Every structure is written in structure tokens, then in C-alpha cells.
Amino acid sequence: MSEQSLQGDPASPSVGRWRRVVLKISGEALASAASDETIDAATVGRLAKEIATSCSELGTEMAVVVGGGNIWRGTTGAGEGMDRAASDTMGMLGTVINALALQDALERAGQPTRVLSAVQMAQVCEPYIRRRALRHLEKGRVVILAAGMGSPYFTTDTPAALRAAEIEAEVIMKGTHSGVDGVYSADPRVEPDAVRYERIGFMDVISQDLRVMDMTAIAFCRDNQIPILVFDIMQPGNVRAALAGEQIGTLIS
């Protein structure tokens, strides 16, 4: 990652700082504390509008990796004695449900999309094929990546990192939904004196065991020099600010 591409083109202020991004959205960011629904239509609609408007105004190419934690996590079933691979497969299928909800909301907001799944589901969406993903991005479609890696024993953080490398995204944007708006020296919900870092190195995140993303994903991003922006995705306006390269959240690089 050259410093040039990190900073974008200052002569074109209307072009977002980041040209191509992977946005990682946890399943729980599609739910709402205010409703019992697994997927809250108002929450998904708000997020979709913000993504659609920001990508079109800033010219950003975006692939979204959706999680499935609002529906099922492999560790939940495994903790109760289920076969881990079967339980993880249920989790992957949950991400497809979320992907379809996000697709619907994005298209209603006027944003063309394609869902590409790592588990083939020919009647529902396209299979993940790297070159096809690139073509969709070039055509201005938001690519929604479902079913993670297609393999058990991972969470969706790791496919977010892998796909970012494959499609040559400049950054992974990890949207948080817990009210914690970046990487802190300690959990700010437990320790009020914790400080938020504006920038932090991969090695510090690893050595201090700061749990912002799965360590497999962090190590992959370090090895492949893919920066990660951690920011609060539930705060209206933050998706645009993140894409525009404004100083929000924490940049791990």
C-alpha cells in the first residue's frame, strides 16, 4: 500500500479518499435493540440509504461482507454439543439471509447490487468468482459477499480480509455496532479512562490482544498490508465520513 493510494488524489476533493473498499457488517448491525426482529427493516433501510448515497456521491467501489451473528453463530451450537462443521454451515446460511435483506434494501435505495455467495445457491444468487466480483465493482454495483469463505471454522472477519486482498481493496472498514467507536487501550465500557487510538499498528493490536477483529483476519491483513478502519457504523453519517477519509474511528495499519 503506497502512501499515495492511502491519501487519494488531493486534486479531486469530490472523489472519496478510498477508491475500493470492503465493508464488514456484523449481522447484529442489521438488528435493533428497539425491536425483537432478527432483521430490523428500519435499521437495514437506514444503512442501505447511507451506503447507496455515499458510494454514488464519492464514486467508491464497495464490496460488503455480511455476518450472520443475529441469526446463528457456529460456536453457539458447538457449545451445546453440535457438530462444529454443521453448526458453522448454519451460520454461513444465516449470512445469505442477511445478504438478501441488504440487497433488497440497497436496491430500493436505487443502488444496483449483486449477491455473490461462497456456497453455491444457483436459484438465489451468483457464486463467488473473483473476476466476476471485479467486473460488478467496475460497473458501479455494490457486491454483497455471502457465506463467508464457504468453509467452517471461520467467522466472516477472515473472508472480509481474504476478499479484500483478492479484489485489491485499499481498506477493510469494520463497522462496529456495540457503541465502541474504534480501538481503545482497554474496553471503554468497563474502563472509562480507556483512550481511543486514531492510528495503531498491527503488531500493537496483536501484542496487546485488542479484540477488534478475529486474530486470523488481523494477521492476514498485516501480512498483506491491508489497513483496517474500525468505526461505529450505527452513527448516522459515519459510512460517508469513513469513505471520504475523514478522521473517525481507528485506522490499523
Q: Given the rule CB under 6 A, which residues bind ligand UDP? A: 26-28, 67-69, 73-74, 88, 91-92, 94-95, 148-149, 151-152, 154-156, 159
Closer Cβ to ligand UDP, 117 or 238, answer by number: 117
Nearer to ligand UDP (CB atom), residue 77 or residue 245: 77
Query: Judged by CB, which is closer to ligand UDP: 60, or 155?
Result: 155
Backbone φ and ψ of 132, nearest 5°: -70, -40
- Strand 20-25 relative to strand 61-66, pairing: parallel
DSSP single-letter state for residue 18: -
CB of 28 to ligand UDP, least distance (A): 6
CA neighbor of 71 nearest in space, from 116, 37, 106, 117: 37
Q: How far is the CB of 138 from ligand UDP (least distance, A)?
A: 25
Closest-approach residue to ligand UDP (CB): 67
Q: Where are the alpha helices (DSSP H) in 80-125?
A: 84-108
CB nearer to ligand UDP: pick between 53 and 75: 75
DSSP string, 21-43: EEEEE-GGGGS-TT---SS-HHH
Rounded least distance, CB 1 to ligand UDP, Å: 24
